[in-house]
Amino acid sequence: MMIEETTDLAACHALRRTVFIEEQSVPEADEMDDLDADAIHLLARDGDRPVATARLLIKGDIGKIGRVCVLADQRGTGLGAALMQAAIDALIARGVREAHLGSQVHAMGFYEKLGFVAEGPVYDDAGIPHRDMVRVIA
């Protein structure tokens, strides 16, 4: 399994379409936005097959990790945690000191195991309950 920064937006979009739009019924207009052009994209491949992705947005010393998705047949393998570590490493390399994310409520335990702490109230994002989470990384 290899995780690296990529400019292959088509592969990232295909993964996001499968997980968010098809599996979770997120409206395409909510999933595909205009922030991809300014983002750092991570892509995990199993051989040549794209299997997971995440997007990083940096503003000053704050990094936002988003659009984290892993194909269903790869969940529970440790790939999600490896993808998140790659995201944290990429943020640290750019001088970021805090990582932020908006977690789907059902996934909060996953992020808590990685050192993220919930902040603020639950809110609706594309019809799915979310909560903001933060981890100090530097």
101: domain CATH number is 3.40.630.30
The whole-angstrom separation of Cα 120 and Cα 14 is 31
Range of the structural domain that residue 129 is part of? 2-136
Report the predicted TM-score, pTM, of the whole model to 2 decimal places: 0.95
- Number of domains forming the structure of the chain: 1
Q: How confident is the model over 32-53, as a mean pLDDT?
A: 96
Give the model confidence (pLDDT) of 111-132 as tens digits.
999 999 999 999 999 999 999 9
Asked whether residue 138 carries a pLDDT value surpassing 90, the answer given is no
Q: How confident is the model over 24-47, as a mean pLDDT?
A: 95
Q: How confident is the model over 42-71, as a mean pLDDT?
A: 97
Angle 13-17-20 (CA atoms, 0-180°, nearest 5)? Answer: 120
What is the pLDDT at residue 39?
A: 98
Q: Which of 73, 72, 55 is nearest to 64 (CA)?
A: 55
Give the model confidence (pLDDT) of 78-93 as tens digits.
999 999 999 999 999 9
Q: Average pLDDT over the chain, rounded to whole?
A: 96
What is the pLDDT at residue 41?
A: 98
